[in-house]
Amino acid sequence: MKRQQKVNLAELARQAMIDRGLEPDFNAEIQREVKALREPAHTADSSVRDLRKLPWCSIDNDDSRDLDQLTWAEPAENGSVRVLVAVADVDILVRKGSAIDQRAAHNTTSVYTAARIFPMLPEELSTDMTSLNENEERFAMVAELTVREDGQTSEGEVYFARVSNHAKLAYNRVASWLDGEEEMPEKVARVKGLAETIQLQDKAADKMRARRHENGALDLETIEPRAVMRDGEVVELRREKRNNARLLIEDFMISANGVTARFLERRGFSSIRRVVRSPERWDRIERIAEELGERLPPEPDARALEEFLVRRRKADPMRFPDLSLSVVKAMGAGEYVLERAGEDSAGHFGLAVRDYAHSTAPNRRYPDLITQRLVKAAIAGTRSPYTDDELSTLATHCTSQEDAANKVERQIRKSAAACLLTNRIGEHFEGVVTGASAKGTWARVFDPPVEGRIVRGAEKLDLGDRVRVKLLSVDVERGYIDFARAHR
């Protein structure tokens, strides 16, 4: 058997960044600014609250080093829950207009590939001085809200505080404990009150999620395999499954983003919102439903679509991720837009929320850093640091660069997949069509979970169609995987 094709994926990723107009490295001026910082920031601002004693924790991926959020909750009146989400204060060190800021404003996002991570901010900041690291005191923007028994949330408030991460936790381990499959993590047991607050957070998240689904939030589950590398070679594509801990953090971040958007609106500040408009191809979603024996309304209806998805998850859980992917493709991509003070928001169709401003990942996303600066100005009672024209231009730029970053990540995922398939030319696979347009037709096969182009026999195929394909060729450097449609 042929040995796997030797390719330097890290170099491929770096070149892909350059090809997409993204900067993979940090220049000398940025390095000088980083060295001048030396240590995490301090402030004498008396309005900053001291919340270091609360049993905060972070819950993230096992290997995450850029920690943006901490969470905490306590019981409130009438069965309600008081929830706090602390977000790293990045602006305190990354000043607007600095060389570090200009580089972040160019890329606008961290780019994550199997072989190399390209952080938006230098690692000395994102994984240290502006990261909410375990057992370290940091400054943070705190979004506070109350969750009622019925899952309804309060308008909420935003302020700044000193915090301390008492336990760096991982999604899978926390989920196994919450589900009763494993014992309490040792780090949780060591911190007084931490177990109780995490369990309370889990219950509050369940209530918020149920409320959003009642309002039409879509329960989607797409497959995003992660390449596992050993000695420079791809040995596996591992699926990252959703679990209670991931859902908990997702729901808390959605709520915190809503609190922040409403806070800026109340203060009369324009902001950058994250929106997903009504599906671009609702007609295709209708046809997908019809092919499965279901019927959807002729006009976009989030609640009807969510009810359909719930039924399909129960009826065919194994194929549900592929159905989700087809729906996501038909819905179209999210975007950043300017929302002027007093204007109505387009909202987020998939999340069934009206107010949504990215604010919870300022180490990784530039729109969140912009939002943080707006919040600081609103709290201080000063003018916005950005004009509406600047926010509009930044929103368009962030959308464009996010698209470029996604293409880099997809390209390297395909290169990693091509590495894995090098020795399987001529084999047949079952899959689903994930893209169909004048530019070409693509399919994702079920095992291993990879996507490629159908270069022969793609006529009349459309999003969501089941298909059997034969692997014709791979091109690791270009990230190409070519299939031919095969007869059953």
Grouping H, G, I as helix, E, B as strand and the rest as coil, residue 225 is strand
For the chain, what are the domain ranges?
9-267
Cβ–Cβ < 8 Å for 446, 430: yes
Contacts of 146 (CB under 8 A, 6+ apart): 76, 80, 81, 82, 83, 153, 154, 156
Nearest alpha-carbon partner for 143 in 196, 194, 78, 73? 73
Grouping H, G, I as helix, E, B as strand and the rest as coil, residue 146 is strand
Using CA atoms, how far residue 87 sits from 4, 53, 352, 433, 453, in Å, is 43, 16, 23, 39, 40
Q: What is the pLDDT of residue 11?
A: 93
Q: What is the pLDDT of residue 1?
A: 34
Identify the bridge partners of residue 443 per DSSP, sorted by sequence position.
433, 452
String of DSSP letters for 44-55: --TTSEE-TTS-
Contacts of 134 (CB under 8 A, 6+ apart): 58, 165, 166, 167, 168
pTM to 2 decimal places? 0.86
Grouping H, G, I as helix, E, B as strand and the rest as coil, residue 345 is coil
CA pair distance 478, 412, nearest whole angstrom: 9
Q: Within a 13 Å sphere around the CA of 394, how many CA atoms are in the beta-carbon half? A: 26
- Tally Cβ neighbours within 10 Å of residue 187: 17
Tokens found for residue 167: 């336990």
Using CA atoms, how far residue 158 sits from 83, 155, 231, 321, 458, in Å, is 12, 10, 46, 36, 52
The string of pLDDT tens digits covering residues 448-480 is: 888 899 999 999 898 778 899 999 999 998 889
- pLDDT below 50 — which residues of the chain? 1-5
Q: What is the pLDDT of residue 407?
A: 93
Q: What is the pLDDT of residue 488?
A: 64
Strands 233-239 and 225-230: antiparallel
CA pair distance 67, 90, nearest whole angstrom: 11
Strands 56-60 and 81-88: unpaired
The string of pLDDT tens digits covering residues 106-143 is: 999 999 998 899 999 999 999 999 999 999 999 999 99
The string of pLDDT tens digits covering residues 263-298 is: 999 999 999 998 877 677 888 889 889 988 999 998
Nearest alpha-carbon partner for 153 in 202, 203, 71, 83? 83
CA pair distance 230, 417, nearest whole angstrom: 14
Cβ–Cβ < 8 Å for 260, 353: no
CA pair distance 286, 395, nearest whole angstrom: 31
Q: What is the pLDDT of residue 44?
A: 61
